[in-house]
Structure 1
């Protein structure tokens, strides 16, 4: 699985960070999400799927999932 983030779509809600903090963080200056690990290990896949599902802007895309 590869994680992609459409930064312009991100509304800085922080839901992804709450669900998968090992994979997502937020920039200090504007709160926009950033991907810390574009190819997380299998043990994180369920958290990443949940993060994508709860993203209010649908800014997270999972490739190869």
Structure 2
């Protein structure tokens, strides 16, 4: 997943905090590492959580003088 203005390492940490395994494959991209078998429900859970994960990854630097 190519990220726009969010560091891959921060997104990886936020995803792991939310219970998802992802890798920061470049400074601006993450890769979901699902098991060999993933249910539609598990995938939906990740997609539903993704906006909050990205917001958490973006938050540390925002609003700080």
Q: TM-score, normalised by structure 2?
A: 0.42
Q: Which has the higher contact order (CA 8 A, sep 6+)?
A: 1
